[in-house]
Structure formats: structure tokens, C-alpha cells
Structure 1
Amino acid sequence: MIWKSILAPVTKRHVQQKTIKTHPLHLFRIIQDVDDYVNFLPLCSYSKILRKAPDGRTFDGKLGIGFGLFSEEYTSRVTVIPETLTIKMKSIESQRINSLKSHWSLEEKQGKNNEVHCGVTFQLEMEVSDPVIVAVLDQVLQEVAGRQVEAFEKRCEELPLPDDLIEVAKRFKQL
């Protein structure tokens, strides 16, 4: 009976919110570029899009992550919803993680001098049974979520706005 309660899955959630100085479509594109994560995302040792659905709104991606003594490769199903600037991810294959979900929600905000900024809400949820991971999950989840949002913000600063972004933004508003 004691072992059953010790090994019971534990689910933890964390929400990170921030406004960053970039156009929401710029960040939206960077979040979708899973192949590039290995180049800028902390704790990421591998990132690859495996297959895309014909509609372009769903794809499977594989990530390798590691921190401390913990490392894991997992495959996720990613759903992109351009109309709401939302990206959802749910793990579909993992050895040590029962479930891992993330949800990006972006919105256009007005900054000073009518600059376009991006309101970001990033939700991260993880379910695990491993007692070692459970022991540090709260602290790690909060730190990982914060570092991820910061890494994407920095990536927006490093990569120039695409030339076609204004045209895409105009078309987007017509949807």
C-alpha cells in the first residue's frame, strides 16, 4: 500500500506570463521552428520535426532534454492554431515522463509609441511517477518555464523580423 502511494503519478502545472518587445507573429514562427530549438533553448540537446500533417497545422517533433542527472528524449504532437496565435504540445512517447503538455498563447499588445508587442502566456504541465523527479518537480518546472520564455524572447531579439511579416500580419487580421 505504501509503495502504491509513493509511485502514484504526480501532476504539476506552472504558468508564465510576460510581455515582450516583438510582433506576436514573429514569436509564433519561432515557436513552430522545432528544428532550431537545439540552437538556443536551454536544456535542449536534440530537436527535430519528424512528420507534418498535410494541413500544416499538426506535426510530431522529437526533443532531447537534460538537467542535472535527468535526461530524456520524447516525441510530442504539436497543434498550431494561427487564428488564435496558439500552439499546443502533448507528449505522445516518453520513457520517464507520463505526460508533458505545453500551451503557448500569444496576443498583440500596444507598447509605447504604438509599437506592437507580444503578450505571452506559457503553460507547462508535467505528470511523472519517478519519485526522484517528483521530489524536485515544483522547483524545476517553474525554472524551466521561466528559462524557456526568456530563451524565446532572446531568440526574437537575435533573429530579424522577416520581411514578409507586415504583409502576413495584414492578411492575418482579415481572417
Structure 2
Amino acid sequence: MPSFRTTRKVRHSAREMFDLVADTEAYPQFVPLCLDLKLRRKTEDAGVVTKVVQMTVGYKALRETFTSRVVCDPQILQILVSYVDGPFRRLENRWSFRDEGPGASIVEFEIAYEFRSPALGLLMGGVFDKAFRKFAEAFEQRADLVYGASLR
């Protein structure tokens, strides 16, 4: 099953990065392959926000829509995404954030996925793999835009 994991040190606080990743509605503006995202439901319990979102991804003529549950826990600065419905057999990802000195943090991103259809997996697998490798970079660039670029 394809998977990807990356750890990056970024020039923004863990809370800023958590807030940026939790803002799923903004994803079509900057996330690779994300063409549209609709918030279907949002609940909050003891500070933990759970969203059900429907995302449409595409590359050239290929488009797929799937639904995920996104659990954002600001107490532990973690976001868990689990698959609900669509073209996958499995899709799970996790974001973790921790401060690493003043104005810097460590962002960890993990994802594992498997397409339901082997043919779709062959068509889209390579494209998804390349896109996932750019996810962390896309969020870091978005943070620079939203919060301002820090001195390097």
C-alpha cells in the first residue's frame, strides 16, 4: 500500500501551522490536485472539532471525489483524517505539530492510501505520490503567505 511520511522544520509556530491545516475550506486555493472542497458537517466536543468534508481532486482529465472525516485536536496539536466514502479502499493521514524554539515548529505529515480499483491505482497512483510529496511544502508556502515570511 502506498504511503508517505515527512518531517519538516518550519518558520511558524506549531499553533499557526495547526490552524492552517485545520482550515480545510481553504485547500482549493493551494493544495496540489485539490479542485474543490465542501464542508458537509462540523461538530465540536470539548474543543475537538470534527469535520466531514468532500474533496474533489483531479489531474488533467481525471477527477475523483471522496469524503473524509477530519478530527482537529488543538490540545495535542494533531489532525487525523480518515476515509469515509469514494474511490479508495483506504485513506488515512495524520498531521502533528510541535514547537521547536521561538517562531519555529516541527510538522509531521503521514499518509497511507489504497485505491479500490487497481486500474485507477495505476492511473492515479504516481500522480498522487508526487502530489503528497509536495503537500508539506504547499502548506509551508501558504503559512508564509498567511502569517508572513520569517527571516531565514
- TM range, normalised to the smaller chain? 0.7 to 0.9
Q: List aligned pairs for 1:138-157, cutoff 5 A.
A: 139-157=126-144
> Where does residue 105 of structure 1 map in the other structure?
96
For the pair shown, which has the larger CA radius of gyration, 1 or 2? 1
Structure 2: how far apart are the matches of 1:91 and 1:144?
Answer: 18
SS in 1 for 2:97: strand
The 8 Å contact of residues 72 and 80 in structure 2, kept in 1 or not, is answered as yes
- Residue among 85, 88, 91 paired with 1:93: 85
**Change in CA separation of 1:84 and 1:107 when aligned onto 2, cut-off 3 Å:** same
Residue-by-residue CA offset, 1:34-70 (whole Å, 9 max, x unaligned) = 1111111121110122111142521111111012443
The 8 Å contact of residues 4 and 133 in structure 2, kept in 1 or not, is answered as no
> Where does residue 164 of structure 1 map in the other structure?
none
The 8 Å contact of residues 124 and 141 in structure 1, kept in 2 or not, is answered as no
The 8 Å contact of residues 51 and 61 in structure 1, kept in 2 or not, is answered as yes
The number of residue pairs the alignment matches comes to 146
**Identity over the aligned pairs, expressed in percent?**
23
- Residue among 109, 128, 133 paired with 2:120: 133
> Where does residue 159 of structure 1 map in the other structure?
146
SS in 2 for 1:159: helix
**Change in CA separation of 1:146 and 1:19 when aligned onto 2, cut-off 3 Å:** same
- Residue among 44, 61, 78 paired with 2:34: 44
Q: Which has the higher strand share?
A: 2
Residue 129 of structure 1 deviates from its aligned partner by 3.3
**Change in CA separation of 1:160 and 1:85 when aligned onto 2, cut-off 3 Å:** same
**Change in CA separation of 1:138 and 1:45 when aligned onto 2, cut-off 3 Å:** closer
> Where does residue 8 of structure 2 map in the other structure?
18
Residue 16 of structure 1 deviates from its aligned partner by 1.5
Residue-by-residue CA offset, 1:59-82 (whole Å, 9 max, x unaligned) = 111111012443211111111121
The 8 Å contact of residues 71 and 80 in structure 2, kept in 1 or not, is answered as yes
Q: Which has the higher helix share?
A: 1
Structure 2: how far apart are the matches of 1:131 and 1:51?
Answer: 31
Amino acid at match of 1:108: D
Structure 2: how far apart are the matches of 1:54 and 1:14?
Answer: 29
SS in 2 for 1:152: helix
In angstroms, what is the RMSD of aligned CA positions? 1.9
Structure 2: runs of 5 or more not aligned: none
Amino acid at match of 2:69: R
Structure 2: how far apart are the matches of 1:124 and 1:59?
Answer: 18
